[in-house]
Amino acid sequence: MKKRKRLKKKNALILSTVFLAGCVTILLWDLAISQDGESAASAQTVAHDLAYDVEEMQEADEESLAEANEILQSSTILSSSGEELAAKVDEMNAAYPNQIGFVLINEQTGEAVTTNESRIFTSASLYKLFLTYAILTQVDAGTISLQDQMADGATVADYLTSTITVSDNETAKELAYLIGWDNIEAFIHEQGFVSTNFHPYLESDGVYYNGDLETTPAEVAFLLERLLDGDLLSESSTAYFLGLLADQQLVYALNTGLDEGVTFAHKTGLLDYVSHDAGILTLDGQTYIVAILTDGWQDATNDATPVFESLGSAVMTYLYAQ
């Protein structure tokens, strides 16, 4: 666990580099974002003032890559409860071939159970996690205030609440226009979330809009883990972000398989053909990161429910075994 924590703080980019180089086949730190969007921009775009400098990205040296590879490879050894959970995930993957991406991290032991963790999915509303990270980074920098008013008179804080707790698409889009889709993507790539993409494009009105929204289970999990560890934001912004996740109102996915004794601070993502759920589980004072991304459905609202019920039950069995 100590090695793993030290690696995260030392260089997040090592992990994405390792995945891209094909050095490892399992574990979670690939890093993430995505979802739906388009609409006329009514909020001001302050792209120039908020532009992020991507050129400051660090390159991992051979020694760092070797260390990352060694630590990640050692994490493939699972406990008996981890093996049972992995077997259940494999069973679900056999029933729904290549439709499920799964990451669970035991924050106490560092154990990680993963499958299809590096596969790129349409992110649906999970992109709002990365958007919120970008907005709160600007809050920490003093460029944006949570009390700043948007075009309709509501505050940035109001928009963030709607964006996370009820997954409002319009408030999310206006927040994205406030910074600029291009700047948000550049920022998250700079932070190491290189497989999370918004595919921004410039229209004749001078505004960047989003294209296909993509992410991976590993990048979503890594974002949540870094948030929980306090590595992303200031203490106040970290608490604020975690509070938004804890106030989540949409409980149609993984919650269907969880017991009442567990708390789940999370974000869902739903389109006709995809259904995702990712967040932080807490039971008896112990915390776990989970990210489950699924696609290939005709009617995800109904079709994906049995998968989340089964995986939720399997996750609870794992949690009780700790």
Token pair, residue 79, equals 């406990």
Per-residue model confidence (pLDDT) at position 92: 97
pLDDT digits (tens, 9 = 90+) for 55-100: 444 443 444 334 433 434 445 689 999 999 999 999 999 999 999 9
pLDDT digits (tens, 9 = 90+) for 293-304: 999 999 999 999
Per-residue model confidence (pLDDT) at position 76: 62
Average pLDDT score, the chain: 84
pTM equals 0.80
Domain that holds residue 188: 2-320
At 314, which CATH number? 3.40.710.10
Give DSSP secondary structure letters for 256-315.
GGS-TT-EEEEEEEE-SSEEEEEEEEEETTEEEEEEEEEE--SSHHHHTHHHHHHHHHHH
Per-residue model confidence (pLDDT) at position 77: 83
Percent of the chain surpassing pLDDT 90: 76
**φ, ψ at 60 (rounded to 5°):** -75, 135
Total domain count for the chain?
A: 1
- Residue 127, burial from CB neighbour count under 10 angstroms (0-12, 13-18, 19+): buried
